[in-house]
Amino acid sequence: MIIMAFMGLSVMLASDADAAEWNVNQLMQSLAHAQPDHATFVEKKFLNILEKPIESYGKMQFIAPDGLEMHTIEPKNEVMLIHGDILSIDHHDIHLQDHPELLAFVDSIRGVLTGNQQMLEQYFYLFLKGDKKSWTLTLRPRQKKLAGLIRYIQVDGSNSSITSINTLKMNNDRSLITIISSGTP
C-alpha cells in the first residue's frame, strides 16, 4: 500500500514537473518547428451594435517566411493576402508601415504562426497558461496606442497546433477565429 501511494505521488510529481517546464520559450520553439499547412477557418465577429454575430468561413494558408492568405468563401468571396509589409484585400494594397497598429495586429498572427517570440514581445506582453496538450497564450499590448484599441489577443492550441484566435477590442467587440487543420496541401 505504501509502495502504491509512493508510485502515485511519483506520477503526480512528474506531471507537475512537466507542467512547470512548459513555458513561453518552449511554446515558441514548438511553433517555430511546426510546418504550417492549409487550414479551414470559421470566424465569428461579435459587434456591440448587432444582436447576432457575423459568421464567415474559408481557407487559410501560411506562406513562409512572412505571408498569410485567407480566402473567405462565405458570406462574401474575398481574398486577404499578407506578404511582407503589404496587406492586400481583393487587390487593394495597404502598406503596413503606414499603419503601425494594423502592423502590430498582423505581426501578432505572424509571430504566433512562426513562433517568433521577439516579434511578439515587440508589441505584446506574453502570458501562457496550461500545458503542452492544451495551452492558452494571451497577448496584452505594450504600446499605448495599441492598448487603446485591443484589450487582448488570446491564442489557444494543442502541442504545436493553433486551434483558435480570440481578439477582444477595447469597445468589447470581439472576433473569434476557429482553425481546423486540414493536413498537408
Q: Is 122 within a domain?
A: yes
57, β-bridge pairs: 42, 74
Specify the pTM: 0.81
Q: What is the CATH number of the domain that holds 69?
A: 2.50.20.10
Q: Is 99 within a domain?
A: yes
Cβ-contact 30, 160 below 8 angstroms: yes
Cβ-contact 118, 109 below 8 angstroms: no
Q: Is 95 within a domain?
A: yes
Which residue's C-alpha cell is 474559408? 58
Query: What grid cell was written down for 66?
Result: 512572412
Q: Is 14 within a domain?
A: no
pLDDT value of position 185: 40
Q: Is 16 within a domain?
A: no
Residue 65 CA to residue 8 CA, distance in Å, equals 46
68: left (phi over 0), alpha (psi -120 to 50) or beta: beta
* pLDDT above 50 (res 3): no
Read off the pLDDT band of 20 (50, 70, 90): low
Give the H or E element holding residue 100. Answer: helix 100-114
pLDDT in tens, 123-141: 999 999 999 999 999 999 9
* pLDDT above 70 (res 166): yes
pLDDT value of position 103: 85
- Most confident segment among 22-36, 43-57, 77-91, 103-117: 43-57
Query: What grid cell was written down for 98?
Result: 503606414
* pLDDT above 60 (res 75): yes
Read off the pLDDT band of 174 (50, 70, 90): very high
Range of the domain at 59: 23-181
Domains held by the chain: number: 1
Q: Is 3 within a domain?
A: no
